[in-house]
Chain A
Amino acid sequence: MIDVLATTPTEGEELNIILLIGIAIFGGTIGARIFQRLRIPRIVGYVAIGIILGPLFGVISERTIQDLEPFNMFALGIIGFLIGGELKREIFVKFGGQVFSILLFEGLAACLLVGALSFGIMWYFADWKTALAVAVVFGAICAATDPASTMSVLWEYKTRGPLTSMLTAIVALDDALALVLYTICVSVAGVVIGHGEAGFFPALLRSFYEIAGSLAVGVAAGFLLNWILNRTEEPERVLVFSISLALLIIGVAITRELDVIISSMALGVTLTNLGSKRVLSSFALVHRFAAPVYVLFFVIVGARLNISNMGPQVGLLVTAYVIGSVVGKTSGAWWGAVRSKSVPTIRKYLGFCLYQQGTIAIALLLMATSRFNGEIRDTMLSVIIAGVFVLQLAGPMFVKIGAKKAGEVGLNITEEDLIRSYKVEDVLDDKVPAISAGLSLNELIKVVANTNSYCYPVVDNAGKLTGVITLDGIMNTFATQELNDWLVALDIAEPVSEKAVPQMPLSEAFEKAKEMDVEFLPAVAPDDAEKYVGILSVRSAHRRLAAEVLAKQKEADRMYAHQVT
């Protein structure tokens, strides 16, 4: 889709680019953290830092952006692969008709509305031919919803449910729809204006080649990757094979002038629908690997947004573009959802989640502007860049609101997510009674019989923690019952090797327990390292977290159950 600029930087510039990548990723991550504190999706932070580093302070120059174009392609490919990974057969079985109905309605409604508004405005300032050219290009480009930022928000907020599935399917296919609309519209516009290079039907044929070719390459690579991963054990090698296949696909797509996102998405879809559990681990590995790639990608998106040099008609056109996209997508998605009898959450909130536009729109714009010259070209560039700027900043927040209103936020959590976000106090058992060091074994057995714990703290007369007794320790005394009358808790207590405090991150406590090879950690007060406050049982904590994850999944599944098919 985009020409990869084969610039050969000198040694000094190469160093400079690495420094800039470092600044961009570091700055983007800091920006994301600040925005996250303000409860704004991370991606807005990346883009904002991109704007600061690019148009505002000029740290990232046009040249740098061009030099990083191959990297952008790589990021798009990875994003495509991960989106494809989300598209399991079941989504299409469950939502099939609905997806296409909603996709067509939201895409066409936005296209027609933006086209009509743009045509009206441009006709006032220029001749009808120019107005038509601008209108069809804007209409086609606005249909594209940015899958990368959409998915970034969905992943960040761990969403799960019918809205998430539908949104994933829509943004995955939106690229193809936008490409078809773009090809048709731009060919029409080119013919009308007189800049058409090949004519309408050759352009349409070219579009068909691009989509079909991308799908064929992606599916073939998917089969190959599945075959390889089925014979690969180590996670590192799974990651290396997945990334290298994705790179190959991206390279082939660029060389054969195919669509990078569609081909890598086809790779992801094929793999996710063929693969065994081990093969599917590839997506999690790539997802983890992709974090800095995302940051840089979105910082560059921000750096590219140059909103200076705007004339009066540009302001009006930007307003029309933004309003047309928002109203068109909201009403179109609603209409499509009603017609296809989707669940209320999809009807009500899907439209809100489709506003953001990003790289696809910019890529289509770059392709479009290569066909036009002079004022039309500048107008198109200014309007789309400004429109995308507004929608890209506002869109992710609407995705968050939509997902939240639909009740799908946090339903896709894993045990690891909970461990990362929880503290010891969240799973601490503070009901386990403290055992006095002098309690006889007979008495101790009675306490154990009446309580439900695998581990008991032993405290001295001053209430200080002196050891722990585990069920294993008590079981050892079953063979020596003649000692029960004169052994006390202290005699069978194990020393406390590590302690936890309630405010400690759960991951840190688990790490400690693993290092010490113990199942339990007694927790003590933060201000008194010997005052017992509860027992952290690794096993019980995992059970509790698993139950929580299961409850969230059940909640999401209940939403699916209400889905009208």
Chain B
Amino acid sequence: MLKEPELANVLVPQRVLILDSKNKRDALLTLINCLGTAPEVKDHDALAQRIFYREELMSTGIGMGIAVPHVRLASVTSPVMCAGLCRNPITDYQSLDGIPIHLIFMIAAGQNQHEEYLRLLSSLSLKLKCEKLRNSLISASDTQTFFQILTHQEK
């Protein structure tokens, strides 16, 4: 059995952004640019192309104001994440429950890191089911606080 992935291993405070984007496209582009700078991501363009292709297939707005755009790419060496706190909820995200998006977690993993990738998605989605945590994250004053709230219970 693989160990439950720790979010602190895939996210660093520098990749937590406060977003002012007004629409889904801008928000995703900002996060792609951020995640694209991670040393684990070797091909920024491939990341962008795949993120938008995945959104075409089905929205990654999973409900409860949360979006988890995620991809697996050959040019990613290990699972990596960036997070965006939307000060202006994004209404055109077409989430599953129609609720505007407040929190975006963009995840990228290697093409053959199937299990780690699923566990990371699962771990994040289970964590975010907690309404209290969601609200704490949405009301975080800065990125450092956001990071600490998200990774707090793990430490």
Question: B30: CB under 8 A from chain A?
Answer: no
If A476-B114, A495-B111 touch, whether A483 touches B122 (CB-CB below 8 Å) is yes
**Complex CA–CA separation, A485 to B122 (angstroms):** 12
Docked Cα-Cα span, A490 to B126, in Å, equals: 22
The A/B interface has a contact count, at CB < 8 Å, of 47
Q: Is B57 positioned at the interface, with any CB of A under 8 Å from its CB?
A: yes
- Chain A 471-507 residues near chain B, CB threshold 8 A: 473, 476-477, 479-480, 482-483, 485-488, 490-492, 494-495
Q: Is B96 part of the binding interface, using a Cβ–Cβ cutoff of 8 Å?
A: yes
Identity of the chain A residue whose Cβ is nearest the Cβ of B126 in the assembled complex: A482
Q: Are A482 and B58 in contact (CB under 8 A)?
A: no
Q: Is the CB of B54 within 8 A of A490?
A: yes
Q: B112: which A residues are within 8 A, CB to CB?
A: 494
Quick one: which of A482, A490, A491, A495 contacts B125, CB cutoff 8 A?
A: A482
Chain B minimum-CB-distance residue to A436: B57
> Taking the complex as formed, is A369 at the interface, i.e. its CB lies under 8 A from any CB of chain B?
no
A319 at the interface (CB under 8 A from B): no
The answer on a CB contact under 8 Å between A437 and B57 is yes
Give 1 or 0 for each of B103-127: 1 = CB within 8 Å of chain A CB.
Answer: 0000000011011001101100110
Asked whether any CB of chain A lies closer than 8 Å to the CB of B60, the reply is yes
Across the interface, do A494 and B114 meet the contact criterion of CB distance under 8 Å?
yes
Are the CB atoms of A480 and B118 closer together than 8 Å? yes
Q: Is the CB of A476 within 8 A of B96?
A: no
Q: Which chain A residues numbered 425 to 455 have a C-beta less than 8 Å away from chain B? A: 437-438, 440
Bound CA–CA A473/B112 (angstroms): 11
Contact across chains for A483 and B121 when beta carbons are under 8 A apart:
yes
Task: Give chain B nearest CB distance to A466 CB in angstroms.
Answer: 10
> How many angstroms between the C-alpha atoms of A491 and B108 in the bound complex?
11
Q: A480 touches which one: B54, B57, B96, B121 (CB < 8 A)?
A: B121
B47 to chain A, nearest CB (A): 15
- Residues of B contacting A477 in the complex (Cβ-Cβ under 8 angstroms): 118
B15 beta carbon closer than 8 Å to chain A: no
Question: Across the interface, do B118 and A486 meet the contact criterion of CB distance under 8 Å?
Answer: no
* A494 vs B68: C-alpha distance when bound (angstroms): 20
* Residues 59-98 of chain B, each 1 if its beta carbon lies under 8 Å from chain A, else 0: 0101000001010101000000000000000000000100
Inter-subunit contact B125/A483 (CB<8 Å): yes
| A490-B57, A492-B114 known; A480-B122 Cβ under 8 A | yes
Closest to A493 in B: B72
Interface residues on B, range: 20 to 34
Interface band, chain A: 10 to 19
Q: With A483-B121, A483-B122 given, is the CB distance from A438 to B57 under 8 Å?
A: yes
Contact mask for chain B residues 17-59; partner A; CB cutoff 8 A; 1 contact, 0 none: 0000000000000000000000000000000000000101110
Closest residue on chain B to residue A487 by CB atoms:
B121
Which of B60, B74, B114 contacts A486 (CB under 8 A)?
Answer: B60
Partner of A485, one of B56, B57, B96, B114: B96
The CA of A476 and the CA of B114, in the complex, are separated in Å by 8
CB neighbours of B62 from chain A (8 A): 485-486
Please tell me if the beta carbons of A491 and B72 are within 8 angstroms of each other in the complex. yes
Contact residues in A for B119 (Cβ distance below 8 Å): 479-480
A457 to chain B, nearest CB (A): 16
Closest-CB distance, B34 to chain A (whole angstroms): 22
- Smallest Cβ distance from A530 to chain B, in angstroms? 15
B60: nearest residue on chain A (CB-CB)? A486
Measured between beta carbons, the chain A residues less than 8 angstroms from B54 are 488, 490-491
Q: How far is the CA of A495 from the CA of B74 in the complex (A)?
A: 9
- Which residues of B have CB within 8 Å of A485? 62, 96
Q: A480-B118, A480-B119, A495-B74 are in contact. Are A488 and B126 (CB under 8 A)?
A: no
B60 to chain A, nearest CB (A): 7
Report which of A476, A488, A490, A494 forms a contact with B118, defined as CB distance below 8 A: A476
Query: Closest approach, in angstroms, between the C-beta of B126 and any C-beta of chain A?
Result: 6
In the complex, the answer to whether A438 meets B58 with C-beta atoms within 8 Å is yes
Output the least CB separation between A447 and chain B (Å).
Answer: 16
Q: Which residues of A contact B68 (CB under 8 A)?
A: 486
Q: How far is the CA of A394 from the CA of B118 in the complex (A)?
A: 70
Given contacts A476-B115, A494-B114, contact A488 B121 (CB under 8 A): no
CB distance from B21 to the nearest CB of A (A): 21
Central interface residue in A438, A473, A486, A492, by most chain B CB within 10 Å: A486
Which of B58, B60, B115 is within 8 Å of A440, CB to CB? B58
Q: What's the minimum C-beta distance from A479 to chain B, rounded to whole angstroms?
A: 7
CA distance A491 to B62 in the complex (A): 14
User: What's the Cα separation between A483 and B63 when bound, in Å?
Assistant: 12
A70 to B72 Cα, complex, angstroms: 67
Nearest CB of chain B from residue A460's CB, rounded to whole Å: 8
Q: Spell out B's residues near A (CB within 8 Å).
A: 54, 56-58, 60, 62, 68, 70, 72, 74, 96, 111-112, 114-115, 118-119, 121-122, 125-126
Binding site for B on A (CB under 8 A): 437-438, 440, 473, 476-477, 479-480, 482-483, 485-488, 490-492, 494-495
18 other A-B residue contacts (CB within 8 Å) besides A476-B115, A491-B54:
A438-B56, A438-B57, A438-B58, A476-B114, A476-B118, A480-B121, A480-B122, A482-B122, A482-B125, A483-B118, A486-B60, A486-B62, A487-B121, A490-B54, A492-B114, A494-B111, A495-B74, A495-B111
What are 25 A-to-B residue pairs whose CB atoms are below 8 Å?
A: A437-B57, A438-B56, A440-B58, A476-B115, A476-B118, A477-B118, A479-B122, A480-B119, A480-B121, A482-B125, A483-B122, A483-B125, A486-B58, A486-B68, A486-B96, A488-B54, A488-B57, A490-B54, A490-B57, A491-B72, A492-B114, A492-B118, A494-B111, A494-B112, A494-B114
